[in-house]
Amino acid sequence: MKIVILDGQTLNPGDLSWDDLGELGELKIYERTPPDLVKERCSGAEVIITNKALVTRETLTELPDLRYVGVTATGYNVVDLPCCREKSITVTNVPSYSTNSVAQAVFAHILRFTHRVQEHAGSVRDGKWSSHPDFSYCLEAIEELEGQQLGILGYGEIGQAVARLGRAFGMSILIHSRSFDQDDPAHGKALPMDELFSQSDILSLHCPLTPETENCVNAERLKGMKNTAFLINTARGPLVDEQALADALESGMIAGAGLDVLSSEPPSSENPLIKARNCFITPHYAWATLAARKRLMKETVSNLRYFLEGKPRNVVEA
């Protein structure tokens, strides 16, 4: 059985092993695959493993041997599911492997704003503490999270994990979600979306990208936020009107933004957020802790093994 990995670099940049997957068949690993080579590289394959490389209808119709597509991610929009269903090709994904890692990244961004460790450590390296008349100093006010209002837009597994961390810091939790529409002391206070924006000291995005949520962070809602508020987005880039956010940051309408996702990835150098005031962008890496990638590798192998045993699991339905 021929197994083709189209973009192995994403899951395994060199610190994991493909050996367990290799035990299941003849393994061919490509670190990256451009769209025009997907069909050629998958020729004769019974199994394709992909993360972001597109598996389109055009490709699928040229692969008569293909039986299985394993997506090394939770999202599966890279695969043409209706075509797979027509051709009886099983598609699986890996849910929930990165929940704690993403929640941790949210607070890495939050704590970056509250304590500004990088700036203070840099000032020490530059000699400011050595020449300072006092034993302690702050470059600017640093903040405590206790008592602040953490708004969570979307209350799935990651949103709930972020809420747990927020409560551990003594924060009040505000929530807007289709599945959470009543106050619950164990979780938080349910609010309409506009009120979530206006009441949050820190607003963290965790909702799926749908026609209703696309550009939900827009000029009007940003205008309604506190000028001391911070926006965190580790969900999907198109949730944010990027020009509107850049304008809000430059004008001081909100205090800052921590982003792990953008509307186009890799982004254009012309993206207005890259150089926006108090905007700190990480390269869509919140999911990618070593622990999360180990779980992802293990589940990718298990998904294929279960399929080969005739007991497929984590199957994505069209």
> Quick one: which of 53, 18, 49 has its CA closest to 36?
53
Active site residue 293: no
> Quick one: which of 84, 44, 35 has its CA closest to 64?
44
Give the angle subtended at the CA of 171 by the CAs of 169 and 176, to the nearest 5°: 130
For residue 124, give the 3-state DSSP assignment: helix
Active site residue 178: no
Do the Cβ atoms of 11 and 36 come closer than 8 Å?
Answer: no
φ, ψ at 69 (rounded to 5°) = -125, 120
Structure tokens at 87: 């051709």
CA distances from 251 to 141, 204, 230, 255 (A): 20, 21, 14, 9
Distance from C-alpha of 16 to C-alpha of 126, rounded to nearest angstrom:
38
Burial of residue 214, with CB atoms counted within 10 A of its CB: 0-12 exposed, 13-18 middle, 19 or more buried:
middle
For residue 174, give the 3-state DSSP assignment: strand
Active site residue 284: yes
| Pairing state between β 47-50 and 149-153 | unpaired
The catalytically annotated residue of 212, 265, 277, 313 is 265
Do the Cβ atoms of 248 and 228 come closer than 8 Å?
Answer: no
Amino acid 34 reads P
Structure tokens at 307: 């399929």
DSSP letters spanning 30-47: -S---GGGHHHHTTT-SE
The catalytically annotated residue of 41, 236, 293, 295 is 236
Query: How many other CB atoms sit within 10 Å of the CB of residue 272?
Result: 16
Q: Which residues are catalytic?
A: 236, 265, 284
